[in-house]
Amino acid sequence: MASAKRDVKKGRGDGGQAGQAKGASSRRGSKNGQTGNSRRSQGTTEAGTSLLENGRLPAVLKDMNGEQLARGLGWFSIGLGLAEVLTPRGIAKIAGVSSSNSGFIRLMGFREIAHGVAIFMQGRRPAAAVWSRVAGDALDLAALGAAFASPRTDKGRVAFATANVLTVTALDVICAQKLSSHNGTTTPDTGGAQQVKKSIIINRSPEELYTYWRDFEKLPRFMQHLEQVRVTGEGRSHWVAKAPAGTSVEWDAEITEDRPNERIAWRSLEGADVDNSGSVEFLPAPGGRGTIVRVEIEYNPPGGVIGATVAKLFGEEPGQQAQEDLRCFKQVMETGEVTLSDGTYWDNGYLTQRPAQPVSSAELGQAHRGGTA
C-alpha cells in the first residue's frame, strides 16, 4: 500500500502502474497478515498524533464552536462507553492489554456514558461536564501508562491508544476553555478563587531584582510556562501561557501598583482566558543577606475546582509553576543562567527536582531546546 501511494504521488496519470503496485501490495499483505496489521497500526498512530504536531492542535480545531464541539464529544463519550461496556475484550485487544482487564474497561465505559449524558443534561454550555471529561482523560492516561510498563502488553497498540487519548484530551481541554467563557469573558468561578503565595531569598539587591522583573518581556527567560509577554502600552501588556494538553491561554494585563524597587501589582483585563491578579514584592532580607522575593497570585481557573484539579494533574497549575519560576529566577540573577545538575532537569518545560542521578541524553537534549535562560 505504501508503494502504491508513492506511485500515485509521482504520477496520477499512470493508473496502470498504480494499479499494479496496489495489487502487489495486497498480495504481499495476504501472505503476511501480521506485518500488514503492524503497518496499518503504525499508519493509524501517525494519523492520530498528527493532530498534536509540535504539541499543538491546528488552528481550525481551536476555532470550532465550543457548543458544537461539546455535543460531538458527548456523542463520542456515549459511543465509546457503550463499546467498552458491551465489548470490553475487543477494546482490550485494540488497546493491546490483557483481556483480564475487561471488568476495569467496563467500569471506564460506564464513566464515559455518564460524561456523555451529563454533557447533554447541562444545556447549551456544559462546561463542568466537559471539565469532568478532562479529569477522566487523565485517569485514562494514567491507566495506559501503567499498561505500558507491564511486560504482558502490546507496546505498539498501547502507544496507539495513548496517542488517540492525548488527541481527545486536547479537544476536551479546548472545548472546556471555550465553554468556560461567555462572549470572551470568563465566567465567575463557582468553586472560589485559587490563591498562591510563594517566596524565596535571592542574593541580589532589591533594585537589581525589581529592574529585571519590571522588564516583563524578559519573564519568559525563567518562567518556562510563559510563551510570550509583549508590552502593548503604558502599564499594559499581553501574555501567552501554556495550558494542559498542548493548548495555550492568553490575557491582557495592567499594572495596578508600581513602587520602584519595592512592589509590582497587576490584574488581568476583561476578556482574559484566565482571570488573575497578583503582586511581587522585593524586601531586604535580615542582616543584608540578599532580598526576599514574595509572590502572591489569585486566579479563577476555567471550570472552577475541577479545572484546577485537572491543571495539577497535567503540571500546569500556577502554584507549581510559581515555585519553579522563583527557583529559576534565583539562578538567573545569581549565576546568570538556569543551571542543570544530576538532580535537576527540564521536564516538559519545568525544572524538575529528583534524587541525584546522571541526566540522560534525551533529557539534556530537551534542556538545550527549551530550558536555557
Domain 194-339 indexed as CATH 3.30.530.20: yes
Is the pLDDT score of 357 beyond 80? no
- How does pLDDT run across 99-156, given as a tens digit for each residue? 888 899 899 889 999 888 888 887 777 888 888 888 888 888 888 888 888 888 898 8
Report which of 137, 144, 141 is spatially closest to residue 171, judged by C-alpha positions.
137
Which stretch of 6-15, 77-86, 362-371 has the lowest confidence by average pLDDT? 6-15
Position 175 scores a pLDDT of 83
Give me the residue spans of the domains in the chain. Answer: 1-31, 39-179, 194-339
Half-sphere exposure of 54 (CA within 13 A, CB side): 6
Which residue carries 460506564 as its cell? 110
Position 50 scores a pLDDT of 42
Cell of 87: 465489548
Q: Do residues 210 and 260 touch, judged by C-beta distance below 8 A?
A: yes
Position 46 scores a pLDDT of 39
Position 361 scores a pLDDT of 62
Percentage, residues of the chain above pLDDT 90? 23
pTM of the model: 0.47
Report the alpha-carbon distance of residue 248 to residue 174 in Å, rounded: 9
Name the band, by pLDDT with cuts 50, 70 and 90, for residue 225.
Answer: confident
Name the band, by pLDDT with cuts 50, 70 and 90, for residue 11.
Answer: very low
> Helix-strand-coil percent breakdown of the chain, rounded to 5?
55, 20, 25
Position 284 scores a pLDDT of 94
Please return the burial class of 154, using the count of CB atoms within 10 Å of its CB with bins 0-12, 13-18 and 19+: middle
